[in-house]
Structure 1
Amino acid sequence: MDYRKIGNTDLKVSNLSLGASSLGSVFREINEEEGIRTVHMAIDMGINLIDVSPYYGLTKAESVLGRAIHGIQREKFFLSTKAGRFGDNEFDFSGDRITESLEESLKRLKTDYVDILLLHDIEFGSFNQIVEEGIPALQKLKKEGKIRYFGVSGLPLDIFNKTLEQTTLDVILSYCHYSLNDTSLLEITPLLEERKVGLINASPLSMGLLTNKGVPPWHPASEEIKQLCDKAATFCRENGEDIAKLAIQFSVSNKVIPTTLVSTASSDNIAKNIRWASEPIDKKLLEEVLKILAPIHNQTW
């Protein structure tokens, strides 16, 4: 496992980290004991950053994760959670709600601090409220020692530029913008480096586009994106490889990206993902897959 520093923090994190959204039965109904085994497997095999949110499974993911990490030495892992998003259409970035949300999360996670607290999917909230209330609340919680670092998460990349024009952040979490089909995250890495802002990359499988399972019916990508990702997956299978393996290796290999979150509630899957991340990438296969995906490169939804 490779370990890299996140921005100007003192967090040296594994290049592959665990996204705990699956523990909330977000993608499929999970067996809680298997979910707990997955967390233990991840930590035992060297993953030291776990990211979660009260939104995932409407607090279920945090509750299961809390049971999983209870009794494990807190120094063995870094914990990241979020605030501000509490349902599909429920957003509240007010200072009081952010503070209250953290207290609720700490109880579910059975800990007295988190290493990172992120405002969740800020593109859906009031930007003025985020800057005038949400960020100051995070700054106060940091001073109080209840969080060590703070930042924001979202899908559109311009939301990070806009936020950094108004305030300072320790870290951002971006998803679906550094993978085989979309590397547009690199457009903002110079600014992040200049401002010494840490970076967490999430969803190297593009929310299920880059797997052998087929695209989830709810996926918001265009038909062209879905078809070409399926074509790339088929090409990998015909050459004896799994596109998910290639996708994970691609995302973790770029040292500009400190860590990439992968979400699973299967101990077999996380063990496989960790092994993949340590194996050399098939450069010839990668070249051919990137050619297939070239017509949709950096297309988003």
Structure 2
Amino acid sequence: MQTRPLGKTGIDLPILSFGASSLGAEFRSITLDEAMRSTRTALDLGMNFIDTSPFYGRGMSEILLGMGLKDVPRDSYILGTKLGRYSDIHFDFSAKRVEESVHVSLQRLKTDHLDILLMHDVEFVPLPQIWEETLEAMLKVKEQGKVKAIGFSCYPLKTFHTVLDHIEDHIDCILAYNRYTLQNTTLETSLLPRLLEKNIGVIGAGPFSARLLTNAELPAWLKEPEEVKAAAREAAKLCADRGVDIAQLALQFAAGHPDIATSVAGSANPDNIRKWADWIAEPMDEQLLADVLAIFEPVKDLGHVEGLPENN
């Protein structure tokens, strides 16, 4: 699979990466066999960057990954996890918890080092703690050789810029989800120029925008405005009428940007993972893309509030 460099880290990522949130049974119950086969299938197809977090399944994703990666040579895959978010209501970005969190993740994942370590969803806490306390603790972990690259993730654009104002000279990469999709390209327009200037690596996630850009039934927890959902249904029907799954177009689009190192997509279904690898190897229907983007134009870049109100 094609790879791209992750900023100045010296790490090359596949353009499509394996998101392990599903291994934590975040969306449905899964079996141990599904978890093991999904992980191995992703690796076999060249999706050798695996993104997880202690938040996913409250540790279960990391535990199952540790089992699934048993006997796989450590230098054959790139491993990233996160810290700071441990449930929907439990956030802890203290220096003490940084050290503890990394220790626990290494134990669960059965490895002695991480390739990428991210602060997870920093918009849920008062932001000064990130540069006054969390960053220094993460830099210490990096100096100890337990992690190669550090950064942060969030959703609100305001949060990205506020945090970057204080730490952009000290981090290696960021992760932005649902910010480079058929409907929302704010990662490219509002963040990418700044990141490229500093040679900060860019990880994209959520190419399907929480199922918005699929034919699946939209989940009740989807926060996008109703007019965005309506446009997505219209776009999905247009794609179907032309014999294309909108999810294919969404994945090809998200993985196609030359300055976004990778697009992270997750599933505990090996068949889905194989299908995704086939899709990104196919040429994109440029006319269909243009027609879908026209449908989304009236709702382009509309999003939702995430985290503390003052961080949006």
Counterpart position of 2:21: 21
Counterpart position of 2:73: 73
User: Aligned partners of 2:51, 2:213: CA distance in 1, in Å?
Assistant: 21
> 1:291 aligned to 2:294?
yes
- Cα RMSD over matched residues? 0.8
Classify the secondary structure of the residue corresponding to 1:208: coil
User: Aligned partners of 1:35, 1:245: CA distance in 2, in Å?
Assistant: 23
User: Aligned partners of 1:180, 1:74: CA distance in 2, in Å?
Assistant: 35
Q: Deviations over 1:251-299 (max 9, x none)?
A: 1111011100001111000111011111110011111111111111100
Deviation at 1:214, TM superposition (A): 2.1
How many pairs were matched up?
301
Counterpart position of 1:211: 214
Q: Deviations over 1:153-196 (max 9, x none)?
A: 00012222211211221010000010000001012111101111
User: Aligned partners of 2:294, 2:247: CA distance in 1, in Å?
Assistant: 17
Amino acid at match of 1:69: L
- Given candidates 258, 261, 266, the residue that maps to 1:258 is 261
Counterpart position of 1:191: 194
Q: Deviations over 1:94-146 (max 9, x none)?
A: 00101101100111101011001101000001212111111001100000001
* Structure 1 stretches lacking a partner, 5+ long: none
Counterpart position of 1:93: 93
User: Aligned partners of 2:144, 2:263: CA distance in 1, in Å?
Assistant: 29
Counterpart position of 1:125: 125
Classify the secondary structure of the residue corresponding to 1:4: strand
Classify the secondary structure of the residue corresponding to 2:139: helix
Classify the secondary structure of the residue corresponding to 2:273: helix
Counterpart position of 1:181: 183
User: Aligned partners of 1:292, 1:151: CA distance in 2, in Å?
Assistant: 35
User: Aligned partners of 1:108, 1:223: CA distance in 2, in Å?
Assistant: 40
Counterpart position of 1:236: 239
Classify the secondary structure of the residue corresponding to 2:179: coil
Q: Deviations over 1:221-240 (max 9, x none)?
A: 11111111011111111111
TM-score w.r.t. the length of structure 2 is: 0.95
Runs of 4+ in structure 1 off by over 3 angstroms are: none
Q: Is the 8 A contact 1:214 1:230 kept in 2?
A: no
Q: Percent identity, aligned pairs only? A: 42
Counterpart position of 1:220: 223
Classify the secondary structure of the residue corresponding to 1:207: coil
Counterpart position of 1:50: 50
User: Aligned partners of 1:184, 1:86: CA distance in 2, in Å?
Assistant: 27
User: Aligned partners of 1:129, 1:181: CA distance in 2, in Å?
Assistant: 33
User: Aligned partners of 1:128, 1:161: CA distance in 2, in Å?
Assistant: 13
User: Aligned partners of 1:69, 1:180: CA distance in 2, in Å?
Assistant: 33
User: Aligned partners of 1:256, 1:290: CA distance in 2, in Å?
Assistant: 20
Classify the secondary structure of the residue corresponding to 1:181: coil
User: Aligned partners of 1:288, 1:30: CA distance in 2, in Å?
Assistant: 37
Classify the secondary structure of the residue corresponding to 1:91: coil
> 1:200 aligned to 2:203?
yes
Counterpart position of 1:169: 171
TM-score w.r.t. the length of structure 1 is: 0.98
> 1:269 aligned to 2:252?
no
User: Aligned partners of 2:61, 2:284: CA distance in 1, in Å?
Assistant: 32
* Structure 2 stretches lacking a partner, 5+ long: 305-312
Amino acid at match of 1:147: V
Classify the secondary structure of the residue corresponding to 2:86: strand
